[in-house]
């Protein structure tokens, strides 16, 4: 009986001991971080929330209480100290962090850290190291990445590292991404053959020699600036080594003249030896040459098999013409959808979705938002399906669930940049985003070849169709007045600022901001879509089609930045104000314009008459505000990225804007119709993924 009574007390003691252990662990982590803080310099006070006696992790939901601290289930897993103006010798400060056993991510991007590469070797649990855009220098020890069996992502770009690239990188088994661009590395590229490696950028260094065969399909832009590299990837054949000089054949033996009697005894003269040596040498040469051809052929076959198994950056695998990739019926469905989205049987439309999902019920939908009604993949496949349109990345369907709402299913073909683990982690991250001007991600479906993303259906059209659509005589075009356009600009800017705040680890948090990716809600409130997809899109495909890759800095220096989103916002504002399609979005099938140069070429006093959209209803009092927004747009589109406005400055200026005419309405000014009912001549391809 006494033992029974003591049981609750024992349990309470065990829980108390566990709590004390957790608190002690948290305090130990705090001590390590505070020591790190004392070693570095924080002139802007960005780490002021790091206070002794407090817990770096606030709770078990992954919310970091200290700035820049990444926690999961109450445990510290990473540091994300980016763009904080921090400085100091990083090698000394990182040494203090080795006492954090659960550390998985280190990101010190865009700071002023100096000194040599910090010692991270034998950190078996480390998965990501981001040190780009600092002032780190010197040679990196060859064994710098030894014993890092979990490491997946390494970004050392835009520093001053020199010497050879560490060969220990070739022995990191799970490496997915490697960026070493814009340094002073010299020597040859290590033989990187990791099966899942899909991003390698070594541009603008001093590398030389042959590009390893494992990287032969990497885009040539990722080798730019290395004058002495050679190989198929850069179109510069390596010099064939001069074969060693063959020794001269021995002189033929001299025949000794026979005596007359011996000459008569011989019925026929024996041919001299040199006459028989020529065909023998030819046979030997042919055999050797044939063996070489066989070896080369075997190597080519092996490399082709490797190319089929592993996607190397720049070559989407498998081919779109492959039956393994998509069916003929599905390709035909997509082509028909470009002009006849409502043509075809219901079974044919469902076939496209079923093909995208890999057949009937192969897998399950994963929901990323709490409180949403759950449904299964087979519910989507059984529902009535309608092809909304196709774009550069895939096909978009509207699926009406039995006794439920309509959902939009977007099928992506070129989304193989990451493995399953990283893809699902990124989808969960997107599922946590919540902003009134973002179209939320509801669920996703993962298959190696293709992915499905599920969103709510928005019955209104996209901004692109509202600005440029041709609806025909029986369906007059809706035009947007100044209050409606300002409302759209403010909502889009607010959502973009939210993405930059919530996803600071992304180089370009949106990446694909344009009018066809801005849907309009019931009150014409903007809903941004297709955001934050660059991390999972195939790099070559993203570089060809995504808006941020059309920015001036991408063309000038070969890379994008967070200001690429600012440029996209500026171009969107110019499109809204002028009613013209910008050059980078000419695929909409309309006459396009270089909006920046065109607006700058018109005298400012003539902007109202020549630049602004003549269909935009406005009062005379509003023109001052409209022209002010035009100036903000041009400041966001500044070609020189250093002179271009920061996003915060642009958003603050936009928020200060007023409609100027006292009209607070947000409705279309003229030609109002029920926008939820699409006419037969509507071009719905603007809602597709493009």
Q: How far apart are CA 74 and CA 524, in angstroms?
A: 41
User: 446: which residues sit within 8 A by CB, 6+ positions away?
Assistant: 363, 366, 420, 423, 424
Q: 410 among the known binding-site residues?
A: yes
Regarding beta strands 199-201 and 177-179, do their DSSP bridges make them parallel or antiparallel, or are they unpaired? parallel
Q: How far apart are CA 477 and CA 500, in angstroms?
A: 34
Q: Quick check: 313 and 319 in contact, CB under 8 A?
A: no
**Residue at token pair 């990451």:** 418
Burial classification of residue 220, based on how many CB atoms lie within 10 Å of its CB (0-12 exposed, 13-18 middle, 19 or more buried)? middle
**For 54-91, what is the HEC assignment?**
CCCECCCCCCECCCCEEEECCEEEEEECCCCCCEEEHH
Q: Quick check: 603 and 512 in contact, CB under 8 A?
A: no
Q: Quick check: 687 and 457 in contact, CB under 8 A?
A: no
Q: Which residues pair with 178 in a beta bridge?
A: 154, 200
Q: Could you tell me how many residues make up the chain?
A: 690
SS3 595: helix
The angle, 0 to 180 degrees and rounded to 10, between the axes of the packed helices 328-337 and 346-356 is 120
The tokens of 422 are what? 């990283």
Q: Which residues pair with 668 in a beta bridge?
A: 480
**Residue at token pair 């209104």:** 460
The angle, 0 to 180 degrees and rounded to 10, between the axes of the packed helices 562-578 and 647-655 is 30
265 half-sphere exposure, CB direction, 13 A CA radius: 5
Q: Quick check: 676 and 457 in contact, CB under 8 A?
A: no
Q: Which residues pair with 236 in a beta bridge?
A: 231
Write phi, then psi, for 381 (nearest 5 degrees). Answer: -70, -25
Cα pseudo-dihedral 413, 418, 420, 422, rounded to 10: -130
Using the 8-state DSSP alphabet, how is residue 82 labeled?
A: -
Residues making up the binding site for ATP: 410
Residues making up the binding site: 410
């Amino acid at each position: 009986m006494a033992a029974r009574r003591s049981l609750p007390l024992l349990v309470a003691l065990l829980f108390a001991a566990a709590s004390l252990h957790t608190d002690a662990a948290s305090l130990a982590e705090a001590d390590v971080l505070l020591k790190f803080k004392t070693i570095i310099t924080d002139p802007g006070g960005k780490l002021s929330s790091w206070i002794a006696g407090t817990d770096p992790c606030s709770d078990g939901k992954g919310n970091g209480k200290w700035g820049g601290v990444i926690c999961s289930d109450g445990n510290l897993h990473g540091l994300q100290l980016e763009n904080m103006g921090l400085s100091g010798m990083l090698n000394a400060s990182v040494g203090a962090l080795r006492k954090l056993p659960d550390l998985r991510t280190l990101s010190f991007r865009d700071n002023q850290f100096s000194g040599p590469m910090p010692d991270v070797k034998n950190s078996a649990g480390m998965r990501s190291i981001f040190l780009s855009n600092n002032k780190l220098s010197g040679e990196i020890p060859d064994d710098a990445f030894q014993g890092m069996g979990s490491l997946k992502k390494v970004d050392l770009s835009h520093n001053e590292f020199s010497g050879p690239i560490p060969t220990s990188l070739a022995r990191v088994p799970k490496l997915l991404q490697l960026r070493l661009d814009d340094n002073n590395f010299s020597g040859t590229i290590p033989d990187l053959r990791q099966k899942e490696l899909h991003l390698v950028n070594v541009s603008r260094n001093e590398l030389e020699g042959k590009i390893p065969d494992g990287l032969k399909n990497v885009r040539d832009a990722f080798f730019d600036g290395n004058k002495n590299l050679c190989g198929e990837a850069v179109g510069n054949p390596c010099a064939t080594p001069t074969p060693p000089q063959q020794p001269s054949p021995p002189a033929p033996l001299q025949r000794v003249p026979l005596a007359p009697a011996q000459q008569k005894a011989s019925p026929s003269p024996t041919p001299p030896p040199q006459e028989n040596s020529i065909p023998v040498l030819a046979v030997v040469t042919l055999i050797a040459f044939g063996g070489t051809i066989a070896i080369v052929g075997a190597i080519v076959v092996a490399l082709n098999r490797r190319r089929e198994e592993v996607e190397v950056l720049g070559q989407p695998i498998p081919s779109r013409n492959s039956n393994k990739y998509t069916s003929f019926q599905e390709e035909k469905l997509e082509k028909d959808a470009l002009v006849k989205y409502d043509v075809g049987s219901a079974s044919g439309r469902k076939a496209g979705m079923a093909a995208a999902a890999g057949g009937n019920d192969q897998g399950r939908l994963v929901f990323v938002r709490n409180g949403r009604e759950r449904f299964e993949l087979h519910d989507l496949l059984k529902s009535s399906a309608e092809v909304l349109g196709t774009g550069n990345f895939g096909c978009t369907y509207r699926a009406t669930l039995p006794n439920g709402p309509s959902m939009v299913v977007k099928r992506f073909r070129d989304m193989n940049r990451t493995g399953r683990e990283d893809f699902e982690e990124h989808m969960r991250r997107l599922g946590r985003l919540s902003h009134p001007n973002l179209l939320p991600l509801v669920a996703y479906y993962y298959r190696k070849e293709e992915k499905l993303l599920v969103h709510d259906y928005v019955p209104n059209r996209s901004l692109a169709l509202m600005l440029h659509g041709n609806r025909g005589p029986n369906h007059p075009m809706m035009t947007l007045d100044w209050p409606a356009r300002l409302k759209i600009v403010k909502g889009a800017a607010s959502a973009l600022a939210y993405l930059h705040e919530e996803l600071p680890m992304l180089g370009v948090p949106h990446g694909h901001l344009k009018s066809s990716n801005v849907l309009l809600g019931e009150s014409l409130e903007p809903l941004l879509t297709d955001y934050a997809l660059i991390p999972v899109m195939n790099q070559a495909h993203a570089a060809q089609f995504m808006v941020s890759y059309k920015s001036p800095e991408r063309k000038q220096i070969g890379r994008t930045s967070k200001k690429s989103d600012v440029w996209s916002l500026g171009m969107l504002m110019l499109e809204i104000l002028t009613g013209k399609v910008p050059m980078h979005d000419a695929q909409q099938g309309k006459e396009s314009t270089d909006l920046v140069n065109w607006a700058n070429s018109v005298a400012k006093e003539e902007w109202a008459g020549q630049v602004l959209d003549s269909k935009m209803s406005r009062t005379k009092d509003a023109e001052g505000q409209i022209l002010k927004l035009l100036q903000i747009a041009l400041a966001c589109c500044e070609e020189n990225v250093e002179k271009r406005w920061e996003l915060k400055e642009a958003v603050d200026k936009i928020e200060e804007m007023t409609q100027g005419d006292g009209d607070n309405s947000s409705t279309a000014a003229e030609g109002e119709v029920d926008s939820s009912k699409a006419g037969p001549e509507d071009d719905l391809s603007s809602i597709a993924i493009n």
